[in-house]
């Protein structure tokens, strides 16, 4: 077994891991990153990027199909479109490969050594890596755990055969005629909506009383309306039980009794869990926070010289949180004074329409004891939204009643994900309602709804 040393060892080359490694390399730190799969992690390879490619393709196909049926913009017509889904998947895979190469190139540019293999802790400073060419022992001064998360399986519906996770859903080469999505959270609805637009008969089975339970009802209502328009059957207060009829159907328990739903594929999206097994974590004396690795505000674990970042450390399980943590840890290792002082982490649901939340919702702000002012401006009163034929949704501001400092911003609407940076920046800068109201927002854009929501809370909205 060969033995090598480094100052910083990063286990996992997902968004958090590769960002940490690149920044460390830029700062002159001798860094190694170990990854068992392709660089980029779940997000790049089987999550964020490929799912958004599929969502885009589905939207394009739906637009052409609507024109063929005379349901598009008046005056626009088209022949009935065709869909070669295998070619769509190949296009998606091409994007992933391009980004894989980009990450690998950035690591090399920063002087980081990328080792392909499975890592396993021997102690807090030593990790054995099994590579295709043999085992290597890596000794490091500092270690960063960035192992990410994985889909949760239902005990009565283990993955395999017709039962798939989001990973397999993004690798299908044919559109299933009948698709059941178990779990009405953001992953299930993003993929379920895409497949519905491409012709699948989709049924969503959600155990709680409504879809997207992590968002307030006002934000999820336009998504529910759109699902109905797409013909998606949504069962709430329903629990998936087990496969029946030789595995070709799913038994679902509802308030009205048991239903048997035929399915070509059953996509289980009931959440994700941290990857804390399979790499010797049990050999370390780390404090845990439930199923997650416990960390402080600098991503230190309870063991000296061991950091943890990303999904393995808890919610929110978001790539951009992991990336920010990774950058911070690299600078701490380099001797810089850093700590986690982020005001907010934006969360986006890429459904149709999209949902963006930043900071506190009205209920959360009230629950924390704030006296608030909150108003929303509907896209039905926004000129740009009307020209896009997407007037469903709104932008809402939540501010302190005493000094008008923004506590949160939420919105739901077509393409609204692109406004998330503006919302986040407002909170990070400590903006007040007046700051938004006195900022000129370009016309005609959907961002004007942000301006008008602030004006409404100040008592003088213009366009409603």
State whether residue 278 is helix, strand or coil. Answer: coil
24 prior amide bond cis, ω within 30? no
- Find out whether 356 and 222 touch, Cβ atoms under 8 Å: no
CA-CA-CA-CA dihedral for 328, 329, 331, 336, to nearest 10 = 90
Upper half-sphere CA count for residue 232 (Cβ side, 13 Å): 32
Retrieve residue 460's tokens.
């003088």
Phi, psi (deg, nearest 5) at residue 250? -120, 130
Retrieve residue 53's tokens.
């490619």
Longest CA–CA span in the chain (Å) reads: 72
Retrieve residue 216's tokens.
């307030």
- Find out whether 363 and 373 touch, Cβ atoms under 8 Å: no
313 prior amide bond cis, ω within 30? no
Catalytic residue among 443, 451, 460, 463: 443
CA atoms of 175 and 267, how far apart (whole Å): 13
The residues, any chain, with a CB within 8 Å of residue 217's CB and separated by 6 or more, are: 210
- According to DSSP, the residues that pair with 325 across neighbouring strands are none
CA atoms of 49 and 210, how far apart (whole Å): 27
Is residue 118 part of the annotated active site? The answer reads no
Specify the pairing of strand 201-206 against strand 288-289.
unpaired
Number of H helices, E strands in the chain: 13, 24
Q: Which residues are catalytic?
A: 443
């Amino acid at each position: 077994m060969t033995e090598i040393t480094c100052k910083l060892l990063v286990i996992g080359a997902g968004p958090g891991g590769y960002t940490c490694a690149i920044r460390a390399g830029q700062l002159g730190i001798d860094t190694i990153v170990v990854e068992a799969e392709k660089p980029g992690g779940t997000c790049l390879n089987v999550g964020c990027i490929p799912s958004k490619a599929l969502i885009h393709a589905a939207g394009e196909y739906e637009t052409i199909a609507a024109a063929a049926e005379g349901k598009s913009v008046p005056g626009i017509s088209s022949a009935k479109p065709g869909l070669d889904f295998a070619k769509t998947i190949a296009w998606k895979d091409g994007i992933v490969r391009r980004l894989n190469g980009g990450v690998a190139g950035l690591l090399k540019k920063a002087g980081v050594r990328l080792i392909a293999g499975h890592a396993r802790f021997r102690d807090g400073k030593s990790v054995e890596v099994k590579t295709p060419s043999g085992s290597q022992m890596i000794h490091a001064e500092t270690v960063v755990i960035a192992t990410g998360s994985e889909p949760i399986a239902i005990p009565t519906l283990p993955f395999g055969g017709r039962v798939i996770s989001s990973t397999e859903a993004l690798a299908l080469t044919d559109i299933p005629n009948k698709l059941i999505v178990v779990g009405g959270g953001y992953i299930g609805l993003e993929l379920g909506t895409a497949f519905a637009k491409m012709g699948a008969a989709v049924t969503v089975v959600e155990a709680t009383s409504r879809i997207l339970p992590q968002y307030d009802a006002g934000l999820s209502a336009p998504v529910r309306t759109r699902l109905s328009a797409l013909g998606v059957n949504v069962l709430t207060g329903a629990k998936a039980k087990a496969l029946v009829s030789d595995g070709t159907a799913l038994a679902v328990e509802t308030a009205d009794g048991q239903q048997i739903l035929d399915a070509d594929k059953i996509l289980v999206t009931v959440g994700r869990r941290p990857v804390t097994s399979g790499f010797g974590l049990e050999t370390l004396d780390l404090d845990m926070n439930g199923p997650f690795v416990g960390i402080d505000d600098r991503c230190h674990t309870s063991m000296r010289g061991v950091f943890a970042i990303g999904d393995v450390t808890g919610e929110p399980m978001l790539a951009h949180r992991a990336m920010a943590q990774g950058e911070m840890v690299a600078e701490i290792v380099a001797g810089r004074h850093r700590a986690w002082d982020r005001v907010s982490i934006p969360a986006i649901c890429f459904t149709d329409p999209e949902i963006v939340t930043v900071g506190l919702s009205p209920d959360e702000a009230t629950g924390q004891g704030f006296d608030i002012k909150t108003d929303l401006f509907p896209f039905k009163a926004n000129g740009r939204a009307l020209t896009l034929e997407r007037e469903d949704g709104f932008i809402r501001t939540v501010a302190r009643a005493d000094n008008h400092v923004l506590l949160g911003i939420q919105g739901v609407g077509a393409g609204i994900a692109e406004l998330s940076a503006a919302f986040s920046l407002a909170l990070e800068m400590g903006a007040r309602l007046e700051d938004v109201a006195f900022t000129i927002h370009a016309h005609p854009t959907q961002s004007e709804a942000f301006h008008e929501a602030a004006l409404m809370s100040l008592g003088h909205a213009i366009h409603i």
